């Protein structure tokens, strides 16, 4: 899908199911981000682009039925940022991903609207018909397995979106450089994010390359990111099949 699109309109589906109710936005802030992305002089510089943002949820079944229709016209699916924290994944999203593990990827019964919406999102992203954007916890669920911060382990009873083809994303929020031990985290099946450092992945044919980068202006994370690239046997900074 061309970015920016050939047409003059971008439709963004925004899912806040991972957030606690009192932290959910009225979409004003998210809409402003995308408006700035397309219309701002620092980015695409396309003041002609119209951005249409609307809310999406897996929970309300009658509304999910409408989401299935709207998703066919969607350009970007944005899973908003949320902190996994000590409470783990929200009950709403846990139900979605646990339900998919039970249903599987085959042609089994897909009578539930929630499962249909899950599969439609995955199919449109995988066939490059829609862009997936996730931050913090929203980025984690793009991987294979969910990292439980409280129990310090991956949870196997759920199947996430798995857009990274078997690779999981681990996110440790609100930790200093000294507490983030990348050597104990980064390996052949895990990419690592923190509040101070993110990860970028470039895929070209059957190869991919990943690299760590600071997410803010705090230069103390530059050394951490450089060290993460040198970890033997890890994906960070290397080409791999």
pLDDT digits (tens, 9 = 90+) for 89-143: 788 888 888 888 877 665 555 567 888 888 899 999 988 899 999 888 888 899 8
Of 156, 74, 61, 59, give the one whose Cα is nearest residue 121. 74
The model's confidence at residue 224, banded by pLDDT at 50, 70 and 90, is confident
pTM value? 0.83
Q: List the structure tokens of 46.
A: 């396309």
- What token pair was written down for 97? 């991903």
Taking alpha carbons only, the member of 158, 172, 35, 15 closest to residue 96 is 158
In 3D space, the residue among 237, 51, 72, 56 whose CA is nearest the CA of residue 138 turns out to be 56
Confidence band for 199, pLDDT divided at 50, 70 and 90: confident
> By the 8 A CB rule, do 166 and 144 touch?
yes
Nearest to 114 by CA among 60, 159, 54, 73: 60
* Residue 172, SS3 per DSSP: strand
Which residues, including other chains, have CB under 8 Å from residue 70's CB and lie 6 or more apart? 11, 13, 54, 56
């Amino acid at each position: 899908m061309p970015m920016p699109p050939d047409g003059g309109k971008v439709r963004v589906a925004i899912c806040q199911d991972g957030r606690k109710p009192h932290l959910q936005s009225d979409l004003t802030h998210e809409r402003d981000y995308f408006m700035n992305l397309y219309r701002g002089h620092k980015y695409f510089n396309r003041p002609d682009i119209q951005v249409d943002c609307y809310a999406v949820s897996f929970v309300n079944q009658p509304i999910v039925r409408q989401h299935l229709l709207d998703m066919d016209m969607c350009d970007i699916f944005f899973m908003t940022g949320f902190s996994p924290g000590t409470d783990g994944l929200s009950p709403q999203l846990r139900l979605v991903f646990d339900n998919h593990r039970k249903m599987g990827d085959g042609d089994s019964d897909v009578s539930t609207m929630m499962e249909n919406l899950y599969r439609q999102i995955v199919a449109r992203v995988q066939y490059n018909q829609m862009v997936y954007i996730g931050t913090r916890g929203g980025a984690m669920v793009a991987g294979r397995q969910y990292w439980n911060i409280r129990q310090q382990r991956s949870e196997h009873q759920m199947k996430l979106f798995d857009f990274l083809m078997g690779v999981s994303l681990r996110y440790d929020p609100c930790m200093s450089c000294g507490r983030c031990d990348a050597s104990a985290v980064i390996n052949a099946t895990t990419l690592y994010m923190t509040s101070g450092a993110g990860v970028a992945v470039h895929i070209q044919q059957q190869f991919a390359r990943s690299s760590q980068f600071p997410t803010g202006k705090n230069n103390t994370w530059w050394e951490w990111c450089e060290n993460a690239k040198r970890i033997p046997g890890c994906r960070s900074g290397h080409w791999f099949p």
